[in-house]
Amino acid sequence: MYAAPVRAEALALLAQGKSLSAVARATGVARSTIREWRDREPSSRPGACPRCDDLQIDEEAYAALLGFYLGDGYIARAARYYSLRISCDLVYPRIIEDVVDLLDRIRPGGRVFRVPRTGCLDVHSNWMHWPCLFPQHGTGRKHTRSIVLEPWQRKIVESCPADFLRGLFHSDGSRSVNTVTRRFPSGRRTYVYPRWQFVNVSDDIRGLCAWALDLVEIPWRQSNWKTISVSRREAVAALDALIGPKS
């Protein structure tokens, strides 16, 4: 009989991707015992899937990663795995680190890669189970197919709407200062105010953004066919507080 800390250490090493033999050497526990611990603890198996194995998922991290996926993400098929890739602008290093952290939290022990591209950086993670977590994956661009959340996804977003909005606005959104000049009988008057805008050509994804804004009671309007704007002063301040700066 081994003490609980020994078992916990062995399972933690397995979660990091260590082999049974390597864990046995590190802990002094027989491989057969470690294998038995692993098989009894699905959440500690390398590659265990929250959906397939009915495991708990970090809901805040998932809601945010879902927003990033719908904004600037895609899933590519390789020979033995799927690759979830989020394209990040190099001028926003904190967002890059946020995406890396989210991938680490959703798939503990998995490797996260940073691949430079012209003007941006692809942050990606390889795993067979990404389509399980993002059933919106399909052939073609997202705006050419239906994007509908599964009931379990909607429940997570309803619990963590701020995280979902962070993913959306920090990928396909922008915060800027808008200047409007109006003419009055007394002369011209200029108004300067901040605003958030979410730009996406998918009707379904814009609809999800609007739904999430409604969940947190932030007023919005569709300023053109592909843009959702949050421009009232109190609404901008509320969204700032929820999702933080884009930096």
129 and 83 belong to one structural domain: yes
Q: In angstroms, rounded to a whole number, what is the distance separating the alpha carbons of residues 157 and 152?
A: 9
Residue 177 lies in a domain: yes
Look at residue 44 in the predicted model and tell me its pLDDT: 47
Domain with residue 206: its CATH number is 3.10.28.10
Residue 52 lies in a domain: no
Residue 151 lies in a domain: no
Look at residue 34 in the predicted model and tell me its pLDDT: 80
3-state secondary structure 139-197: CCCHHHCCCCCCHHHHHHHHHCHHHHHHHHHHHHEEEEEEEEEEEECCEEEEEEEEEEE
- What is the total count of domains within the chain? 3
36 and 65 belong to one structural domain: no
Q: Taking all residues of the chain, what is their mean pLDDT, rounded to a whole number?
A: 89
Look at residue 1 in the predicted model and tell me its pLDDT: 59
38 and 91 belong to one structural domain: no
Of 34-48, 74-88, 233-247, the poorest mean pLDDT is in: 34-48
Mean pLDDT of 47-58: 83
101 and 78 belong to one structural domain: yes
78 and 19 belong to one structural domain: no
Host domain of residue 237 = 171-243
Residue 97 lies in a domain: yes
Residue 217 scores a pLDDT above 50: yes
pTM above 0.85, yes or no: no
Four-residue CA torsion sign, 192, 198, 201, 205: negative
Residue 202 lies in a domain: yes
Mean pLDDT of 8-25: 82
